[in-house]
Amino acid sequence: MQRRHFFLAPAALASGAWVGAASAQTALSCPPATPPVVTPLAGINVLAEIKALRINSGPVAGGFEIAPNGRLNWYFANLGLLSIVRLLSAAELETLILPYLKLYLSRLLPNQSIDDVNLPYGRANPSVITTVASDSDDAYAATFLSLATRYVRASGNWTWWEANKALIKQVAYRNLALTAKPSGLTSVFQSPRSQSNSIGYLMDNCEGYRGLRDLAALLRSRSELVDANYYDNLASNAAQGIVQQTFKSAAKAFTVSDASPLPQSVFYPGTSCQVYAQAFGLVELAPLFDYGWAYLNQQSPGWETGRYDPYPWAILGQVAALRGQTTQARTQLAHIEQLFSTNRALVTINELGFYQRARSLLAGQPEV
């Protein structure tokens, strides 16, 4: 899954807000000899910033831009919204999260995958949209499952759940069950797109595991034990597949996918993927967490200063906070705050979400 290859909105390009990921990555292929100096700011008000990204009119009203005048990428929106569900009031859950979930379900394709949405004129005219194929089926579905189940638990809106659970189960079944390989890993795409890319990516499968576990837990709480056991079994298979197909004991590190013979030393996706199992709570892989963390820091030292990629990769700071590496986590937060003030577009909705998770952990609060 090419998480950083965006099709950029013309309105945003005209304003100079967006920097193409490919060109920016090329410019940063050689890290600076001296880490950039970052000055901690007052902090980003994540809740306010995500609310400000809401699309309020047009055919995708209720959706969220990835950044001001950016596209609607469901995967990134799911990750960003996950971080604020527990911060919202009961009323805000119904006015911010529920409309988004309804919109997502309404825009599903017949096979329960979903296309991203471009807004060619940005906020100036959100009534004009075009669609573009998503860059995965499995990760979009998985993060949607996590968001939907988190919303229901927070809101207690079981009426909505009962009315929509059959379709939500289909999202899981079509994108995470039918795409499962004999190894347990999911293919990034359903058929027929899987004919050109049937790779099982480490990052996607960590997210897939979490979405399946979240769905199974909710179903079990509703005494739907057959379906709960089915989706739990898929998650267990994914965890086993990750160990058998992507972890290389000789290198003590993960490969980026089941198509990669060896771990990579390039930051994305080679070293940044190493912490995904811990970030998404794959408890079966806990004995391997230290290896992934060590490989990231050995191959990409100073990642917390943002030297390797134009995007901040706040998920790394979240894992640093989880591991009690407060200096690295705080250094990255300061970098993100500085980046937010100088190049707002690069702190996308998903980055805001992981930034918020890290801040909560550092403040001694439960992870949001």
As a whole number, mean pLDDT of residues 123-135 equals: 95
Give the other-Cβ count within 10 Å of 283's Cβ.
Answer: 11
Higher pLDDT, 82 or 13: 82
Among 8-12, 18-22, 140-144, the range of highest mean pLDDT: 140-144
Quick one: pLDDT at residue 1? 52
Q: Is 284 helix (H, G, I), strand (E, B) or coil?
A: helix
**Residue 361: partners with Cβ closer than 8 Å, 6 or more residues away:** 318, 321, 322, 329, 367
Quick one: pLDDT at residue 142? 98
For residue 80 the two structure tokens come to 């960003």
As a whole number, mean pLDDT of residues 90-107 equals: 98
Residue (of 194, 138, 144) closest to 168 by Cα position: 144
| Tokens 């329960």 sit on residue | 112
Confidence bin at 2 (pLDDT 50/70/90):
low
Quick one: pLDDT at residue 195? 86
Residue 40 has pLDDT above 80, yes or no: no
pLDDT tens for each residue of 12-28: 333 333 323 332 322 22
Alpha-carbon distance of 217 to 129, in angstroms, equals: 37
Alpha-carbon distance of 356 to 360, in angstroms, equals: 6
Residue (of 141, 260, 279, 270) closest to 206 by Cα position: 279
Alpha-carbon distance of 98 to 170, in angstroms, equals: 19
pLDDT tens for each residue of 311-350: 999 999 999 999 999 999 999 999 999 999 999 999 999 9
Quick one: pLDDT at residue 366? 79
pLDDT tens for each residue of 150-193: 999 999 999 999 999 999 999 999 999 999 999 999 999 999 99
pLDDT tens for each residue of 204-249: 999 999 999 999 999 999 999 999 999 999 999 999 999 999 999 9
Task: Indicate the pTM of the whole model.
Answer: 0.90
Quick one: pLDDT at residue 3? 54
Q: What angle in degrees, to the nearest 10, is found between the helix axes of 202-221 and 158-172?
A: 140
Residue (of 85, 327, 121) closest to 214 by Cα position: 85
Percent of the chain with pLDDT over 70: 89
Mean pLDDT computed over every residue of the chain = 90
Alpha-carbon distance of 229 to 215, in angstroms, equals: 10
| Tokens 């298979």 sit on residue | 237
As a whole number, mean pLDDT of residues 134-159 equals: 98
Alpha-carbon distance of 312 to 335, in angstroms, equals: 8
As a whole number, mean pLDDT of residues 79-85 equals: 97
- Are 157 and 149 in contact by the 8 Å Cβ rule? The answer is no
